[in-house]
């Protein structure tokens, strides 16, 4: 149990990329431990895994307290008074040891919390001669607090395990040969040597070698990815059979893996609406309960029965303590966000997590989100020339262009010789001379297809961007280039519809191409030819009508991502501006994890609501029962602490991934199953 619900200092800005992640803290007030890399790898490893409950030192005081209490009660029932009293005192001292010292320290600093209520109740019970009841209170409170700590540790285990994916040392290439150094000393531009089966110590780009890498422990995807020079490799990935030389693009202390953990830890401090609601209720409740208890004592003196009413005041202190309320939301948020990070969905705040559970509309960018962002020539219509000649003419000019469509044309005709006198007409096309012929290559707005206008329209209606090739003023052919949909796009849209979520396409592409690809994906509402400001305006209107998420990856998506109820950035190939503007960073490749994240957040939101309701119900029911003497101190303590344990266990359930939205294999006949290695268990 948190001793107090201080809440975050919302006047301070939480930066998106802290120097290093933190991994611990008060369940209510947020994380407060020093950076992970302030510790040695050995020290971090010692704390990375919870010991079994029967070996957990944190549970020993409660175990001793409970054992002494049970034996004491048995001796008391047998008429052995003195040994029974001694054991009850032993139980009281062991139980009080876990919360009284910290309560006193906080009280000296002028802070009050749940522990103060329990301390006053225990002291009062002893003063009234009820040592056994005071011992029961101390035992149950200390046990609930120890179980809460274990729950929080369990929720954070995935984050610690993510950091454990970074090896202790790395081999790097120097002018004088190979050298082995600690990973913390790795710097950007160092050349790492990654042998077969070794882990990548930090983010980098392959500069030599070909292999395949397993990123399942980082992104949750079980299929290995082939890599070659020029491909990006994330920290924590496992190399396959080949040897790779990788140029580091991040320091060993600050890479994608440590940033994921840092972002998740920020979420513990930045609380959502329900967390703030719990804090707003719990913070004034402690002094209010103290005042009510004091009034009950005064009433006892007025009616002439102070002993009875002092005892009831002590019971009221325990009955109205907001223990369960203080922990109702944080343990749920930490469990759920930590779980989401294991399959490539990094939720940056508790507020974003709660809002993610309210989403009813999802707007998706087309290029790079629904599509692969890898344009390819899919059809060539030639008029008076062979198809390969049309491609050669276009490639001869486009080889000098940086336009994405140019790369697709050059890839389709790799042997074309560069043209001469090449000049680019911005927004239109390109001109030049090839083998003495004047060539123009451009869009249909610049070069009119003439009698073949209908053929160009048919290509556009099939989702292609049409490039016109003209030779010496005459139409030579039409090239249809298409950025194919991701294999899982249609299934992702279907999963969203099954959840009652309305998908919308927002794109800057032309209307015909956008509608063709949208129909193939199963999207009915299409907003095409949108500038960045248009996207932001459309998202603003949608969000005003219902909670709306925006999924995008480019710089032009950044305003829309910031405007949406929840912005989801495609982090693998996404721009820094998009990731910075988003509330959720999606680090994987499989779009189907997005509806899974939405289902995960909905479930977590339901659990939070149930926890808050239960915590309030316990206080509302127990308060009058305590005030009118229906329940004594032992009964109230038992009910209260059992309810808190129930809240904790319910909150931990939020770590489970929802089965209803879990992605299946793209092939209808096979489902990829990750190998059950210790690393891959993180991805489950």
Q: What is the pLDDT of residues 155-168, one digit of tens each?
A: 455 555 556 677 88
pTM listed for this prediction: 0.60
The token duo for 56 is 């957990």
**Which residue of the set 153, 365, 392, 553 is catalytic?**
365
Q: Which residues in the chain are classed under CATH 2.70.150.10?
A: 169-252
What pLDDT score was predicted for residue 89?
93
Spatial separation of the C-alpha atoms in residues 493 and 382, rounded to whole Å: 36
Return the number of other C-beta atoms located less than 10 Å from residue 39's C-beta.
15
Spatial separation of the C-alpha atoms in residues 372 and 590, rounded to whole Å: 11
HEC states along 275-310? Answer: HHHHHHHHHHHHHHHHHHHHHHHHHHHHHCCHHHHH
Give CATH superfamily name and number for 373-484. Answer: Calcium-transporting ATPase, cytoplasmic domain N (3.40.1110.10)
Q: Which residues in the chain are classed under CATH 3.40.50.1000?
A: 345-370+486-597
- The CATH classification number of 169-252 equals 2.70.150.10
The token duo for 503 is 């998908």
CA angle 287, 290, 295 (to 5 degrees): 130
Spatial separation of the C-alpha atoms in residues 131 and 451, rounded to whole Å: 100
Report residues of the chain scoring pLDDT below 50: 1-48, 155, 220, 222, 267-268, 271, 574-575, 577, 660-662, 665-684
Q: Which residue has the tokens 């299409």?
A: 526
Would you state the torsion angle of the CA atoms of residues 331, 333, 338, 344, taken in this order, to the nearest 10 degrees? 170
What pLDDT score was predicted for residue 448?
87
Spatial separation of the C-alpha atoms in residues 325 and 332, rounded to whole Å: 12
What pLDDT score was predicted for residue 279?
57
**Is 153 considered catalytic here?**
no
- The Cβ-side half-sphere exposure at 72, using a 13 Å CA radius, reads 23
What pLDDT score was predicted for residue 253?
80
31 Cβ partners below 8 Å, 6+ apart?
22, 23, 24, 25, 265, 268, 269
Spatial separation of the C-alpha atoms in residues 57 and 303, rounded to whole Å: 48
The distance of Cα 503 from the centroid of its chain, to the nearest Å, equals 22
Q: Which residues in the chain are classed under CATH 3.40.1110.10?
A: 373-484
What pLDDT score was predicted for residue 23?
33
What pLDDT score was predicted for residue 260?
62
Length of the chain: 684
CA angle 223, 229, 235 (to 5 degrees): 55
CB neighbour burial string for 469-502, b if at least 16 within 10 angstroms, e if fewer: bbbeeebbbbbbbbbbbbebbbbbbebbeebebb
Cβ proximity of 351 and 270 under 8 Å: yes
What pLDDT score was predicted for residue 93?
92
- The Cβ-side half-sphere exposure at 581, using a 13 Å CA radius, reads 26
Spatial separation of the C-alpha atoms in residues 638 and 563, rounded to whole Å: 48
Cβ proximity of 638 and 576 under 8 Å: no
Residue 222's nearest CA partner among 604, 523, 673 is 673
Residue 633's nearest CA partner among 129, 13, 100 is 129
Domain 345-370+486-597 has CATH 3.40.50.1000: yes
């Amino acid at each position: 149990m948190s001793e107090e619900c201080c809440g975050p200092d919302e006047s301070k800005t939480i930066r998106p990329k802290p120097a290093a992640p933190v991994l611990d803290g008060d369940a209510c007030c947020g994380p407060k431990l020093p950076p992970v890399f302030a510790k040695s790898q050995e020290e971090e490893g010692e704390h990375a895994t919870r010991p079994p409950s029967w070996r957990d030192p944190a549970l020993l005081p409660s175990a001793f307290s409970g054992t002494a209490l049970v034996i004491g009660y048995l001796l008391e029932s047998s008429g052995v008074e003195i040994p029974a009293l001694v054991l009850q005192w032993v139980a009281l001292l062991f139980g009080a040891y876990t919360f009284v010292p910290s309560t006193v320290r906080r009280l000296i600093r002028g802070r009050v919390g749940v522990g103060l209520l329990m301390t006053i109740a225990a002291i009062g019970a002893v003063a009234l001669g009820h040592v056994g009841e005071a011992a029961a209170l101390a035992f149950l409170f200390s046990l609930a607090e120890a179980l809460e700590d274990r729950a929080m540790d369990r929720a954070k285990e995935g984050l610690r395990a993510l950091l454990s994916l970074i090896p202790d040392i790395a081999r790097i290439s120097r002018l004088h040969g190979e050298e082995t150094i600690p990973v913390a000393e790795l710097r950007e531009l160092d050349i790492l040597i990654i042998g077969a089966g070794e882990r990548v110590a930090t983010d980098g780009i392959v500069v030599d070698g070909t292999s395949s890498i397993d990123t399942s422990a980082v992104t949750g995807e079980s299929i290995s990815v082939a890599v070659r020079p020029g491909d990006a490799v994330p920290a924590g990935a496992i190399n396959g059979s080949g040897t790779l030389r990788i140029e580091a693009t991040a320091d060993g202390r600050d890479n994608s893996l440590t940033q994921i953990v840092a972002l998740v830890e920020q979420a513990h401090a930045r609380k959502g609406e329900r967390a703030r609601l719990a804090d707003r209720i719990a913070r004034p409740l402690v002094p209010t309960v103290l005042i009510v208890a004091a009034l009950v004592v005064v009433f006892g003196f007025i009616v002439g029965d102070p002993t009875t009413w002092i005892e009831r005041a002590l019971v009221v202190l325990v009955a109205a303590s907001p223990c369960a309320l203080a922990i109702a939301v944080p343990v749920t948020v930490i469990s759920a966000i930590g779980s989401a990070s294991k399959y490539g969905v990094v939720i940056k705040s508790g507020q974003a997590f709660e809002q993610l559970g309210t989403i009813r509309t999802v707007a998706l960018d087309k290029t790079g989100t629904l599509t692969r962002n890898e344009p390819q020539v899919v059809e060539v219509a030639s008029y008076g020339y062979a198809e390969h000649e049309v491609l050669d003419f276009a490639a001869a000019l486009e080889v000098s262009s940086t336009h994405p469509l140019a790369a697709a044309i050059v890839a389709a005709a790799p042997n074309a010789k560069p043209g001469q006198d090449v000049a680019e007409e911005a927004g239109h096309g390109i001109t030049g001379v090839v083998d003495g012929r004047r060539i123009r290559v451009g869009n249909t707005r610049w070069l009119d297809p003439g009698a073949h206008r209908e053929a160009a329209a048919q290509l556009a209606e099939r989702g292609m961007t049409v490039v016109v090739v003209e030779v010496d003023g005459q139409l030579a052919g039409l090239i249809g280039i298409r950025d194919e949909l991701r294999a899982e796009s249609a299934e992702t849209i279907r999963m969203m519809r099954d959840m009652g979520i309305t998908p919308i396409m927002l794109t800057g592409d032309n209307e015909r191409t956008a509608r063709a690809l949208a129909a193939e994906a199963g999207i009915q509402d299409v907003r095409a030819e949108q500038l960045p400001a248009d996207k932001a305006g459309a998202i603003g209107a949608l969000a005003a009508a219902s909670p709306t998420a925006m999924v995008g990856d480019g710089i032009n998506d950044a305003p829309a991502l910031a405007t949406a109820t929840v912005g989801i950035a495609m982090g693998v190939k996404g721009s820094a501006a998009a990731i910075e503007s988003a509330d959720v960073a999606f680090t994987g490749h499989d779009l189907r994890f997005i509806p899974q994240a939405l289902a995960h957040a909905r479930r977590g939101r339901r659990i939070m609501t149930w926890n808050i309701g239960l915590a309030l119900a316990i206080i509302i029911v127990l308060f009058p029962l305590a005030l009118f003497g229906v329940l004594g101190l032992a009964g109230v303590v038992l009910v209260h602490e059992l309810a808190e344990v129930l809240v904790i266990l319910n909150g931990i359930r939020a770590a489970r991934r929802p089965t209803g939205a879990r992605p299946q294999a793209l092939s209808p006949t096979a489902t990829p199953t990750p190998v059950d290695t210790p690393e891959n268990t993180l991805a489950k």
